[in-house]
Chain A
Amino acid sequence: MMMSDKNELSHHFEINGGDFSNAGRISTSIKEILQEIGIDSSIIVRAAIASYEAEMNVVMYAQRGVFTLNITPEKLLLNLEDEGPGIENIDLAMKEGFSTATDEMREMGFGAGMGLPNIKKNADKFDISSIPGKGTSLKITICLDRTERK
């Protein structure tokens, strides 16, 4: 954990592509951190869903990723940068039901094409960008201040 200026808490996590045995660890840690500091449970559920989907996509599609959770008095910021194949067509990837998951992943119940749409639904702000052949970057914001929530 790092403490930076202006009441900001920052946590970093690393994920490896293909590591299904540790998949879910980061989102579980994020949930625990938020519970410890007493964040509202409805916010924790949204952060857990968004971070789980982001984490699983690195495990399923990328080589490695770095996840950062920043907590300020106003919001939670979840940033994920991965090194991997990137996403050719982001609009298509954002469509519910679109998936390039392998048969093996589908047998495990992945590949519904719901992950990115789930992240968007649970975020107050969601930015995704990607460079094909290099990697993908996600910025997920969840507001703690009721008036700014969607």
Chain B
Amino acid sequence: MKLAETVEKLNLKVVTGEENLGAEVTGGYTSDLLSDVIANSKEGNLWITLQTHQNIIAVAKLKDLSGIIIVNNRQPDEDTLQKAKEENVPILISEEMAYEVSGKLYELISS
């Protein structure tokens, strides 16, 4: 499934990485621990997290994730946005909790 379709179906707000919405989403990975995400996420995964600081960008970049969904309507820090733009990493904001976003993404991808 394309990132653009995920954005629409999950009602996400695109804050960076608009140009990468054509990327393929291979699944999701929900975690707030960076070492866990680095170790266990897979290429093309959408990362669901409540972390908003700049270090999330390097993790997404290193693992070739399709984007980061920040949950609970939390807003990314200014330097996070800056880095995301430099590295072309899509940051998407959801008003829902990680549980709901993960459940909906799972449904979407597996259906």
Chain A interface residues toward B at CB < 8 A: 20-21, 23-25, 27-28, 31, 45, 48-49, 52-53, 56, 108-110, 112, 114-115, 118, 121
Further pairs besides A109-B32, A114-B35: 15, Cβ < 8 Å: A20-B54, A24-B57, A24-B59, A24-B61, A25-B58, A27-B62, A28-B62, A52-B59, A52-B62, A109-B51, A109-B55, A109-B56, A110-B35, A112-B36, A118-B39
Q: Is the CB of B79 within 8 A of A27?
A: no
Chain B nearest Cβ from A122, distance in angstroms: 8
Chain B residues 47-95 with CB under 8 Å of chain A are: 49, 51, 53-59, 61-63, 79
- The answer, yes or no, to whether B34 is at the interface (CB within 8 Å) is yes
List residues of chain A with CB within 8 A of the CB of B62.
Answer: 24, 27-28, 31, 48-49, 52
How many interface residues does B have (CB within 8 Å)? 21
Interface of A is mostly: helix
Instruction: Report the bound CA distance from A21 to B80 in whole Å.
Output: 10
Q: Which residue of B33, B51, B53, B58 contacts A52 across the interface (Cβ within 8 Å)?
A: B58
Question: What is the predominant secondary structure among interface residues of chain B facing chain A?
Answer: helix
| Chain B positions within 8 Å of A108 at CB level | 34, 51, 53, 55
- Chain A residue nearest to B60 (CB atoms) is A24
Shortest 3 CB-CB contacts between residues of A and residues of B: A24-B58, A114-B35, A112-B33
Decide: B58 and A23 in contact? CB cutoff 8 A.
yes
A27 to B49 CA separation, bound complex (whole angstroms): 22
Cα–Cα, bound, A24→B89 (Å): 14
Contact A27 B36 (CB under 8 A): no
Residues on the A chain within 8 Å of B56, using CB: 109
Residues of A with C-beta under 8 A to B32: 109
A28 touching B33 by the CB < 8 A rule?
no
Q: How far is the CA of A108 from the CA of B57 in the complex (A)?
A: 13
Q: Is the CB of A49 within 8 A of B79?
A: no
- Give the most central of B32, B39, B54, B61: most A CB within 10 Å: B39
Pairwise interchain contact B58-A114, C-beta atoms closer than 8 A: no
* Residue B38 is within 8 A (CB to CB) of chain A in the complex: yes
B60 to chain A, nearest CB (A): 10
CB distance from B110 to the nearest CB of A (A): 24
